[in-house]
Each structure stands twice: as structure tokens, then as C-alpha cells.
Structure 1
């Protein structure tokens, strides 16, 4: 095919994909507006006592009879819509932004209910809507909103997960995993020296927000690893488990990471050195060296990692890349101590802790099914 035809194909394909994206985005916005409006109408009627018991069940059943094949309006989903409105009803106070058509019959009926109501429960404290992430809010699906409302309990956390979900394009499982790991409280709090060692300042801020202070490597199940004594479980065992589950690790590690290699060989001045795990981060545009340590943090780890970073910058870094960043993953640390001693190092380094399945509480582990039982259940399903 001639180049001019290939160019034409690319232009048309881009236009089609952009159109499909805009159509999907518009459809999602309209669905959220509809659910918000229905939730408001149900909330005003049911909470104020205008409807009797069993009203939502009766309405759902009648909708199914009058609109056969209609999906998404079960009793449970109608209640989710009510919650969706009640948790975000502060958006009603925004004059320039409406989640529903104010002239629709549903909106007019809700407005009349509000006027007739003497209750003050509908008036909530309004956040600064000038900085509310409306685009992010409308870009994620209703199911994502349900997960966020059920798992994140305050306004700041919900806004954080909405924005992260929109920008990172998380699926439902990824979103649930991030909330369960409490990403909101763990991101950007690890001991580091990024502000002193990275320029310009924006790069340091990006680095701080990229790494967490603790990582849950729950896919590492030490009971399944073939070692005679749990005391023999060392960095190599954890490293091999990460390599075998690199997709899960990158999901835990965060967005924009690409795995390069484990035991990455550095050869400088005749000295052989090996980095446990080497990644590249697209957002930071730099190599990220990760060192795994079985026990509690030691200051000697910082010197070792600084040496690796010097060699990476001198022999491996591409001209267009930023200097490499180092991360020490250890089982335990004294944060105040690490924060103090790390400032004397000239290479950008952060220190975080990790947990494996073995570190889960006894109560939680007892609640999980036995490995053999899981295998038996899977065989039965097959």
C-alpha cells in the first residue's frame, strides 16, 4: 500500500476511535445523570415517608413488566441509585453544573418534593465545587462509583480514588485492590530524599506520589514455596515470586512501570554487581532499581543502592532519560530514623516496607480456604 494510503488509513482510524471514545464517554455521562436523577426521586419519596414499605420492590417489578429485557433497574440497583444521589447530593448546589435535565418530568417532580419537604436532611455541607473534578467524576462508570462509595468513607478519599481511577483507567478489580491496600494513606509517605536530590522540583513531586510506604505482596504465599524451613525464606525467594507474578507486582507497584529484568548485571571497572529488580517508569522517564531485604532496614543498604545508581547513571542511562531512582523494600523500618539518615545521600532513594500472605492476621488466614480445598473446588468446577 502506498504511503499516502497508509496515512489516510491512520487518519480515518484515529477519527473513528476518537468518535467511539466520545460516544462512549457521552453515554456514560448520560447514564450517571439518569441514575442520579432517579436516585434523587427515590430518596425524596422513600426517606420522607411519601412511599410505604415495599415501594422500591413494587416499582422495580413493574418496570420489568412494562419494559421487558430492561437491565440495571433491579431492587438492589435502585437502592444503589438512591445511595449514589444521597452521597453526592452536594452537587445540587452547583449552579453551573447539573447532573440532570432540570426540565424533565423526573426533575420537576423531585423539585416539587423538595419544596413540599420540611426536613433539613437534604442540605449538606458543600465542598469547593470550583475544584471538584467533574470530568473525572463523569468519566468512570456507575459500578466504579458503587465500589468507591462502599469502600471509601470520607469525601477526600473518594475524590482521590475517582481521579486515580479516571486517569489510570482502572478496572473494577484494580480499583478494589487499590482501596483495600489503602493507597490513599500510603502513597507519597515513604521516607525519601527526592526533594534534595532531584531537579527540577516537579520531578521530585512526581516521584513522591509514585511510590507508597508499604506494599502488600499478597500473591507471595510462602506456604506454597518449596523450602524446608521458613527461616530459609530470604530475598531470593521473594524475588523469584515477584518475577513469576510480575503482572501482579506491577499492578501493586503502580502505573507506568515496565519490568526490565531481575538480577540485572552491572559491569563497571571490572566489578560485577547485580540489581535485584530493575524497572523503567514512563512518567518519571527513568530507571528504577529495587533492592529486596528480608529483615529490618540497615544503613548499609543505602550505600549499596547508591553505588548501583551511580553505575546506572554512568553506564546505562540514555541521554534523554532522567537519573535513576532507587527503592529499598524491607520487612520493617523505623521511619523517623530512615528519614534522618537518608538525607545525607546524593542519589534519589526511597525506603518502603512490604508484607506477604504470611504476614496476614491469623484471623484472616483462618477465614481463607485451604489451598488443597481450593484446588479440589477448581477441579470440581472443571
Structure 2
């Protein structure tokens, strides 16, 4: 090994050590902050209940804190209220190792240690819980109703490093309800239990393509939608999930001197397989499955690598009847699903602009 290569290897090791240390510091800082906010929320909740605080008391508390600690940030009345909600939401599942009042008297106990007390929170979830930022936590608890939903979004946020913007998108698109709802034939077509489970959570029943804006509905066709998706491929990847990689649009293969084209071709890292999307502007009809079955056979024969799993196909339509889809799948052996999409023209006003702008996306994806 040359001196130059040795030097580069040393720099890589140093960089890795520095980044790993920064990550651990960030995790510890976040853990401490959550514990502090939880303990403050507990104190405020108890005081408010005992002393029958009115709506203006938190403003007074916030102002007095500012006077005691000039320049203090993050403790506005609205944020203190969020801390109270945070505590009251999770009070049955966590307790705090040392109360705020005790910390002022005992410096050695100056760690706001969250301790699991509820049976619904596992140690694994507790680890994920303390990796998620407070802004993420408040988005989750203010937009969900059940602990199952909250656990799902906390684990996804922690494992996939979602930004607040990404989390908001998945909350508004009802990812929790969408997962596993895609009409498919995976139970029959995918024999490996682990792979089938991954496929079921990889796809949604409906995709919100609020970046596709077709000014004249009469001009809407598959190629226009495809071009908009390719032009906004980072946004489409965000709607698909973190495990997808884009390969090509109009992916070309030749069979018996005839050219064929797959609308959109992706690779899913968790499933380790090719994923073909066929775009349809109208309502699903059974004939679409024959075309997709042909594409998947060709991809498995001509494109799939030996170590990869069989390809999966998703037919993306404007509309579908689930009963028609179910009957159409009866004798199809290739793994497929049928999903719908909504463009900006179809979305209610509250869903428009759901995905982040180009500059935000660039920061997320770089």
C-alpha cells in the first residue's frame, strides 16, 4: 500500500470516528432534552390541576422564565403547553428518573432519565422513542389517535431518519392505514414469508402525486404523468419510501426482434428485487394484468441477477374496483398489486403542497 493510500485510509477512519461521535452526542442530547421536556410537562400538568390554572398562566410562566434566564429559547407558552401534552400522552408508559424540583437540590441527579413503566412500550421502542426529536413527537401525537399509530411513526422516524417534513407527508397521506391495504396476490405469488412481509409494507393502496399538475384534464395521459414523475423523481421516491432506487423510465428490452418498454423501473433494497410500475390514466381493467405479467417474466429472464428475488409489478391507475382486482388476480402467479394515484388536480386544498419544495428536497436527499 502506498503512502497516499495509507493517508486516505487514515482520513476515512478519522472521519468515521468524528461522525460516529457526533451522532452519539446528538442522541444523548436529544435523550436529555426529551427527559427535561417530559419532567417539565409533568410539573406543569400537576400544578395546573392542583391550582386550577387558567389559560393565561403559561404566558406568565414563560415570561418569568425569560426574566430569570435572559435569552432562553424554546420555552414560549405554546411550547410549554406542548410539553404538558407530551407528558400527559405518555404518562402511562414512562416516568422520569428525577423530577425538576429535585434536580435543583441535587446536582448528581441532573439527568432526566425516561424510565419505561407501561406494558405497551418495549425496550426497543423506548430506544427509538428517545432518538426522535421533540418536534417529531409533537407532530405524531397531535396527528394520531391510537398508540399503535404512534408506535409505528416513532419507529419509522427513528429507523429511517425522517425529517419533520417527511413525517408530515406520511402522516397526512395516512401511511399507517395505507400499509398492507394494497390489493395484491402476494400471498399466492411470494412463497417466502419474510419476503412477503416486506412486500406487504413496501407498497401503499394510494399515492398522492401532488407534484403532478395537469392544467388541461383533456391532455392527461400516461406519458404526461410519467414525464411529471420523472421530472420530480425525488418527490416520487419520497412518496414510495426510503428503500426504492430509480433505474429508468421507458426501460427497453427486446424480445424476438420487437421492442417493449416498462413505464417506470425501480429496485427495492429490502426486497432485493426489481419493481415495475405500469401507469394507467383510467380505471383498472383485468387486461392490464396480462401485460404486467409479460413484463415481469421478461425482467426475471433477461434483467434480474441470480442473487435477486423475482420482480414485483404495480399497476398504478386513476381508479379501481377492489372486487374486480381480486377476481383478476385469481390465476396470476407473478407478484403484483394495483394502486391508485391522485394528482394535484384531484386533491383537496389541505393536501396540496404536501410534499416539500425542491430546495428542501435537495437538502433531504443530498
TM-score, normalising length: structure 1? 0.83
1:112 aligned residue: none
2:111 aligned residue: none
1:36 aligned residue: 38
After TM superposition, list the pairs within 5 Å mapping 1:124-163 onto structure 2: 126-130=118-122, 133-163=125-155
Relative distance call for 1:51 and 1:25 in structure 2 (3 A) is: same
CA displacement at 1:187 relative to structure 2: 1.1
Relative distance call for 1:32 and 1:368 in structure 2 (3 A) is: closer
CA displacement at 1:106 relative to structure 2: 5.8
CA displacement at 1:249 relative to structure 2: 0.8
CA displacement at 1:255 relative to structure 2: 1.6
Relative distance call for 1:48 and 1:343 in structure 2 (3 A) is: farther
Q: Contact (CA 8 Å) 2:289, 2:328: kept in 1 or not?
A: no
Q: Contact (CA 8 Å) 2:286, 2:324: kept in 1 or not?
A: no
Cα deviation 1:300-350 (Å, max 9, x = unaligned): 111101101111111111222221110000011111231232141121111
Runs of 5+ in structure 2 lacking a partner?
Answer: 106-116, 354-366
How far, CA to CA, are the matches of 1:359 and 1:103 in structure 2? 50
Q: Contact (CA 8 Å) 1:36, 1:100: kept in 2 or not?
A: no
How far, CA to CA, are the matches of 2:226 and 2:54 in structure 1? 60
How far, CA to CA, are the matches of 1:140 and 1:281 in structure 2? 25
CA displacement at 1:91 relative to structure 2: 2.0
Relative distance call for 1:178 and 1:103 in structure 2 (3 A) is: closer
Match status 1:341 vs 2:328: yes
Relative distance call for 1:66 and 1:313 in structure 2 (3 A) is: same
How far, CA to CA, are the matches of 2:244 and 2:256 in structure 1? 30
Q: Contact (CA 8 Å) 1:285, 1:321: kept in 2 or not?
A: yes
After TM superposition, list the pairs within 5 Å mapping 1:78-97 onto structure 2: 78-92=80-94
2:19 aligned residue: 17
TM-score, normalising length: structure 2? 0.87
Aligned counterpart in structure 1 of residue 188 of structure 2, from 196, 203, 221: 196
Aligned counterpart in structure 2 of residue 315 of structure 1, from 289, 293, 302: 302
Q: Contact (CA 8 Å) 1:100, 1:107: kept in 2 or not?
A: no
How far, CA to CA, are the matches of 2:72 and 2:55 in structure 1? 24
After TM superposition, list the pairs within 5 Å mapping 1:64-79 onto structure 2: 64-79=66-81
After TM superposition, list the pairs within 5 Å mapping 1:115-130 onto structure 2: 126-130=118-122
Q: Which moved more, 1:173-182 or 1:231-240?
A: 231-240
Relative distance call for 1:107 and 1:268 in structure 2 (3 A) is: farther
Q: Contact (CA 8 Å) 1:41, 1:106: kept in 2 or not?
A: no
How far, CA to CA, are the matches of 1:368 and 1:138 in structure 2? 32
Q: Contact (CA 8 Å) 1:291, 1:328: kept in 2 or not?
A: yes
Relative distance call for 1:52 and 1:273 in structure 2 (3 A) is: closer
Report the 3-state secondary structure (helix = DSSP H, G, I; strand = E; otherwise coil) of the residue aligned with 1:48. helix
2:363 aligned residue: none
2:264 aligned residue: 277
Q: Contact (CA 8 Å) 2:93, 2:120: kept in 1 or not?
A: no
Aligned counterpart in structure 1 of residue 58 of structure 2, from 45, 56, 59: 56
Report the 3-state secondary structure (helix = DSSP H, G, I; strand = E; otherwise coil) of the residue aligned with 1:57. helix
Cα deviation 1:79-104 (Å, max 9, x = unaligned): 11001001111124xxxxx5442596
Report the 3-state secondary structure (helix = DSSP H, G, I; strand = E; otherwise coil) of the residue aligned with 1:222. coil
Q: Which moved more, 1:190-199 or 1:307-316?
A: 190-199
Q: Contact (CA 8 Å) 1:296, 1:333: kept in 2 or not?
A: yes
